[in-house]
Amino acid sequence: MMAWLQITSGRGPEECCQVVARLTRRVIRAAEKQAIRIRPLEMIPSEKPGGLRSALLALEGEGVSDFIPLWTGTVLWIGKSMFRPHHKRKNWYIGVTSLSPPESFRWSEKEIKTDRMRASGPGGQHVNKNETAVRITHIPTGLKTVASEERSQHLNRKLAMGRLAELLESESDRLDKRHRQNRWNRHNLLERGNPVRVYEGEKFRLIKPV
């Protein structure tokens, strides 16, 4: 199984960004101990050294489905501000959410349907009696392309496949943009209260396990 984990400060101050960085390191160590493959996909630094506004991690392995629920939800760190010594606030919240990786549009020949047609000229006239035009259908998405300008069916198929690749890339970009927007929306939304994990003090000691 493969999944993404987003750790975010929401719109919290620099103190929350420090908590994001520390929790990210904890998550990485915990995953490695369970032989889960984990790698950072995106790290958005904050203004202060060592802080992270958001971290996006990719996890892969047999234990991912059990690992993810242990970390998702609101996380609270209780401690004095490391930047504002006289600040009264002691509760700093961050959020952890799971995401499905965006769809990939790699395809195999099994997903492609090829239809051969007669190439039509102006006014619907057939250019020749041979079926040289080609229509390619990508079955999973329903996307279709046609090529008929070449006299060779082989060349028309290559053209149609090239056009299909462009369509799939465009669709992949569209989904990727939507996925990034979804991540940004999750970054801005942060529930405070009822944390699934609570850490305390400079040593980031866990006082409320899941």
C-alpha span between 90 and 74 (Å, rounded): 16
What pLDDT is stored for residue 99 in this prediction? 82
Provide the token pair at 188.
Answer: 């801005």
C-alpha span between 176 and 173 (Å, rounded): 5
| CA 77 to centroid of chain Cα atoms | 27
In a domain, 182, yes or no: no
Per-residue pLDDT reduced to its tens digit, 84-133: 988 999 999 999 988 877 655 566 778 889 998 876 544 444 444 467 89
What pLDDT is stored for residue 127 in this prediction? 46
In a domain, 44, yes or no: yes
In a domain, 155, yes or no: yes
- Tell me how many domains the chain contains: 2
Write the CB contacts of 115 (distance below 8 Å, at least 6 apart in sequence). Answer: 134, 135, 136, 137
C-alpha span between 146 and 163 (Å, rounded): 8
In a domain, 179, yes or no: no
What pLDDT is stored for residue 170 in this prediction? 78
Per-residue pLDDT reduced to its tens digit, 141-191: 888 999 887 777 887 888 788 788 778 777 777 767 776 676 666 555 556
What pLDDT is stored for residue 206 in this prediction? 96
* Cβ proximity of 166 and 147 under 8 Å: no
CA distances from 5 to 20, 52, 55 (A): 12, 14, 8
- Indicate which CATH number applies to the domain containing 149: 3.30.160.20
Pure H helices in 56-204: 64-67, 153-188
115 and 146 both lie in a single domain: yes
- Indicate which CATH number applies to the domain containing 60: 3.30.70.1660
96 and 118 both lie in a single domain: no
CA distances from 35 to 25, 56, 70, 78 (A): 15, 19, 16, 30
C-alpha span between 37 and 42 (Å, rounded): 16
C-alpha span between 138 and 141 (Å, rounded): 6
Instruction: Specify the DSSP class assigned to residue 103.
Output: P
- Strand (E) or helix (H) holding 97: strand 91-99
Print the domain residue range for 9.
Answer: 2-103+189-208
In a domain, 184, yes or no: no
Mean pLDDT score across all residues of the chain: 84
In a domain, 41, yes or no: yes
* Cβ proximity of 55 and 6 under 8 Å: yes
In a domain, 119, yes or no: yes
Neighbours of 4 (CB within 10 A): 19
Give the phi and the psi of residue 58 in degrees, each rounded to 5. -105, 130
92 and 10 both lie in a single domain: yes
Single pTM value for the model: 0.63
